[in-house]
């Protein structure tokens, strides 16, 4: 297993946001985490990337216990997150943002070829490479966030709500690229409200409800599951 989350609890002050969740991600998979607002999806993500300290339980990455490791050291281990709300550096240009993604790396020539790869995946970013991140449209910012995370050449890519606030056309496009990135060999843990897209793209998925995992299975199984359909897919 690349990522093993075991019985994780996490608190905001006295409020427990996650009540002992366990998630595994195998190498090469796309695993989706779906659920409503406030279910704890983003919190889980922040625990994995190291932005929130956990209360109990453990997180293992490639066999190593990283539960209490600092966020920046997790990036060096190979975990990179595209944060919720995109987290673009607004004053930096597209190119500078992408450069920041490769901050922990020193292999200049490989960085250059990864930059070409990102521009290949998102030709739109190549056109705007000199433009400030803050002046991009929502979809472009999302592309930039994903591209920037890829620049770290992660073993595990964490995507937090990549479809948030985007037009259906753009959502479709982003998800196609996510599949493509996965086929190129990157393992992906994906948090989504757009359950339809997430489940049809993911190999496996977990359903979170108020800080607990209530269901898990393959993406296809959950897509056809009646409870999931009622609650998250908006079809009767």
Partner 1 sequence: MTETLREINDRRQRLTAGIGERVRALPRWQKVLGLLAFVGFLYYLPYLGIPGLTWFRTDYIPQGNNWAGVLFSCAIYVLIAIGLNIVVGLAGLLDLGYVGFYAIGAYSVALFGSTQSPVVEALQNRFGLSEQWAVSWAICIPLAITFTMISGVILGWPTLRLRGDYLAIVTLGFGEIIRIVARNSSWTGGPQGIAAIPGPEGAPSADNTIFGLIDPKPWYWLALTVVIVMVFAVRRLEHSRVGRAWLAIREDEDAAAVMGVPGFKFKLWAFAMGAALGGLSGFLFASRNAFIEPTQFNVYLSILFVAAVVAGGAGNIPGVAIGAFLLAYLPERFRDFSEYRTLAFGLALVLVMLLRPQGLIPSRRRARELADRRKEAPANV
What is the closest distance, in whole angstroms, from the C-beta atom of residue 156 to partner 1 in the complex?
12
Phi/psi-derived region of residue 168, left when phi > 0, alpha when psi is between -120 and 50, beta in every other case = alpha
Helix%, strand%, coil% for the chain, nearest 5: 40, 30, 30
How many other β-carbons are positioned within 10 Å of the β-carbon of residue 236?
A: 5
Smaller CB separation from partner 1, 80 or 188: 80
In the complex with partner 1, the residue whose CB is nearer, 26 or 73, is 73
24 vs 89, beta carbon nearer partner 1: 89
CA distances from 27 to 88, 102, 159, 176, 219 (A): 28, 22, 16, 20, 16
* Token pair of 21 as six digits: 């969740």
d(CA 152, CA 111): 9
Smallest gap, in angstroms, from Cβ of residue 89 to partner 1? 4
Q: Which is nearer to partner 1, 108 or 226 (CB)?
A: 108
Q: How far is the CB of 157 from partner 1 (least distance, A)?
A: 11
- The least CB distance from residue 169 to partner 1, in Å, is 22
Identity of the residue, 118 or 223, whose beta carbon is nearer to partner 1 in the bound complex: 118
Minimum gap (Å) between residue 103 Cβ and partner 1: 5
Q: Which of 221, 178, 156 is nearest to 4 (CA)?
A: 156
| DSSP letter assigned to residue 230 | I
Q: Could you tell me the smallest distance in angstroms from the CB atom of residue 108 to partner 1? A: 13
When the beta carbons of 104 and 220 are compared against partner 1, the nearer one is 104
Distance (Å, rounded) from C-alpha 68 to C-alpha 49? 11
CB 48 within 8 A of CB 158: yes
Identify the bridge partners of residue 157 per DSSP, sorted by sequence position: 80, 188
Contact between 175 and 146 (Cβ < 8 Å): no
Copy the structure tokens of residue 127. 């056109």
Question: Which is nearer to partner 1, 97 or 182 (by Cβ)?
Answer: 97
Q: How far is the CB of 84 from partner 1 (least distance, A)?
A: 9
Binding site for partner 1 (CB under 8 A): 49-51, 70-73, 75-76, 80-81, 83, 87-92, 96, 99-101, 103-104, 132, 134-135, 148-149, 152
């Amino acid at each position: 297993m690349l990522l093993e989350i075991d019985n994780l609890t996490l608190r905001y002050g006295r409020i427990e946001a996650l009540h002992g969740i366990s998630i595994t991600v195998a190498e090469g998979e796309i695993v989706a985490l779906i659920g409503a607002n406030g279910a704890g999806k983003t919190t889980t993500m922040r625990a994995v990337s190291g932005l929130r300290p956990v209360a109990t339980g453990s997180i293992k990455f490639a066999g190593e216990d990283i539960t209490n490791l600092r966020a920046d050291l997790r990036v060096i281990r190979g975990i990179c997150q595209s944060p919720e709300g995109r987290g673009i550096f607004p004053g930096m240009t597209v190119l500078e943002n992408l450069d920041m993604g490769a901050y922990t790396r020193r292999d200049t020539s490989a960085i250059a070829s990864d930059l070409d790869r990102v521009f290949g995946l998102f030709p739109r970013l190549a056109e705007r490479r000199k433009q400030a991140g803050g002046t991009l449209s929502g979809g472009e910012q999302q592309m930039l966030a994903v591209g920037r995370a890829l620049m770290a050449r992660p073993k595990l890519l964490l995507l937090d709500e990549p479809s948030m606030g985007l037009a259906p056309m753009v959502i479709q496009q982003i998800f196609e690229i996510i599949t493509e990135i996965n086929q190129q060999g990157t393992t992906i843990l994906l948090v989504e409200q757009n359950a339809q897209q997430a489940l049809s793209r993911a190999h496996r998925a977990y359903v979170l409800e108020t800080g607990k995992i209530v269901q898990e299975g393959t993406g296809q199984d959950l897509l056809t599951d009646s409870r999931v359909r009622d609650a998250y897919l908006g079809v009767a």
